[in-house]
Structure 1
Amino acid sequence: MSTTDELGAKDPAERRRRILAAAVEVLGERGFAGTRVADIATVAGTSPALIVYHFGSLDGVLAEAVRSVEDDFFDDYERLVPPGADAVERLRLTGVIGADTGPAVGNWVLWMEIWVRALRDDRTREMRQAMDARWRAHIRGVIEDGVAEGSFTCHDPEASAVRLVAVLDGLAVQVSLGDPSVTEDRMVGLWLDAAAEEVHLPRERLDA
C-alpha cells in the first residue's frame, strides 16, 4: 500500500478531498467524455474501488467534484470579505473572485464542459440549474443589502442578478477561448462596469 493510501485509510475525509481534487484536475484536462475512474484514481494516488466505495459511480464523483469547486468559491469569498464590509465592497469582490480562473472558480473550461453536458444529461442539467440559482441568489442578496444600506438603486434585484451572471458567463467563454481582446483583467473591469450600471453606482466606487 502506498503512503497516500495509508494516510487516506486513517482519514476518510482527507481521502475524499484528494479524490475530488483529482477529479477536478482530470475533468479540466479531459472533459466529461474523456474522464475515467481509473484516471482519477491515478491522480489521487488511490484505487478505483475506493472511489466507487465513496461516491458510488463515475457520475457520482464528477457531480461531487463540481459541487466542491463551487463550494470553494463561496468559502474563498467569505474568507476574503473583510469583517463589516459594506455591499459595495462585497459586490467588488464578487467580480474580482468570480472572474478568477484559478482554483477558487475551478477553471472556466470546466464550466463550459458542464454547460455542454447539461444539454443532453438530465442530472447535469439539474446540477447546473442549482449552481446558477446559488450564484444569482448571492448577487441578488448583495444588491438587496446595498439598496437597504442606501448605496445602490435597483428596482429589480432578481433581474439584475440574472443579467450579471449572464455577463460573467459570457466574458468567461471569451477568456477561456483565449480571445486577445478579453483578458482576465479586462473581464473583471467589464463585469464591474456592468455591475455599477445595474445598481446606479459611480464606477470608481468599485475600484480597489
Structure 2
Amino acid sequence: MTKAERALETRERILRAACEVIAEIGFENISMRKVAEHAGVSKALLHYHFDTREKLFAEAMTHSFAETGADTASDADSVPAAVLLARILRSMLPTDEELRQDWKLWQELWVRAQRDPAARHLAVDLYDQLHAWVAGAVERGIASGEFEECDVTALSTLVLALCDGLGIRVMLDDPRVDLATARSTIWGTIAPALGIAPEFPEV
C-alpha cells in the first residue's frame, strides 16, 4: 500500500468513525479526542486530516451522503426506471440501521443549519444533489416511455418533502407510520403523475 493509499484509508476510517459518534451522541457532544479514539488513530493524526470539528462534520455529512446512494449505482443503467426510483426512495428513508444512522446525521445538520451559515449552505447543497438524483430517475423514465410526461421539478420536490416528513415519523417509531406505510404513501402519491401502478415495486 502506497503512502497516498494509506492516507486515504485513514481518512475513510476517521469519517466512518465520525459518522458513528455524531449519530450516537450528537455533534454538540463530540470531541476530536472521542472521534480519534473511535477511529483508532492519534488525535494528532486526526487533526492532520481535519483541523476543526466543523470541517470534520461537513466531511462526515458528505461522506454519509455519498455512501447512501452507492448501492443504487452498480446496475442503474440496466434496471427499469421505476425500480431505480424505488431504490432511491428506499435509500432516502430510514430503512435499515445504516440509513437510520444517516438520518441521525441529517437531523444534526438540520439543527446546525438554523444557527450556522456554513451548515445551512451544506444542507441546501445536499438537497440540490438529492433533487437531481430523483429528477434524473424520473427524466430517464419519461425518455424511455416508462413514465408519463410530468413536471419533473415539482415531482422531485414533492418526493423529497414526503421522504423528510414520513421519515421523521419512522425515526420516532410513530405507530401510525412504519416503513411500509411511508413507502406506499409516497409511491401512491407520485404514481398518478407518472402513469404507473400505485404499488411500491419489489427492489
What TM-score comes out, normalization by structure 2 length?
A: 0.90
Closer/same/farther in 2, CA of residues 166 and 74 from structure 1, 3 Å limit: same
Pairing partner for 1:158 from 143, 153, 159: 153
How do 1:1-208 residues align onto structure 2 when only pairs under 5 Å count? 11-79=6-74, 81=75, 84-99=78-93, 100-104=95-99, 106-204=101-199, 206-208=200-202
Question: For 1:203, what is the secondary structure of its paired residue?
Answer: coil
How far apart are residue 202 of structure 1 and its match?
A: 1.7
| 1:92 maps to amino acid | A
Rounded to whole Å, the distance in 1 between the matches of 2:180 and 2:73 is 22
Residue aligning to 1:5:
none
Rounded to whole Å, the distance in 1 between the matches of 2:47 and 2:158 is 39
- 1:15-68, CA deviations, whole angstroms, 9 ceiling, x for partnerless residues? 111100110011101111111111101100111211111122111111111100
How far apart are residue 154 of structure 1 and its match?
A: 3.6
8 A contact 1:69–1:105 mirrored in 2:
no
Closer/same/farther in 2, CA of residues 10 and 82 from structure 1, 3 Å limit: closer
- 1:102-127, CA deviations, whole angstroms, 9 ceiling, x for partnerless residues? 32574312211111110110111011
Rounded to whole Å, the distance in 2 between the matches of 1:58 and 1:174 is 29
Identity %: 30
Rounded to whole Å, the distance in 1 between the matches of 2:96 and 2:190 is 19
Rounded to whole Å, the distance in 2 between the matches of 1:145 and 1:189 is 22
Greater mean deviation of Cα atoms: 178-187 or 195-204: 195-204
Identify unmatched segments of 5+ residues in structure 1.
Answer: 1-7
How many residues matched? 199
**RMSD, aligned CA:** 2.0
How far apart are residue 96 of structure 1 and its match?
A: 2.2
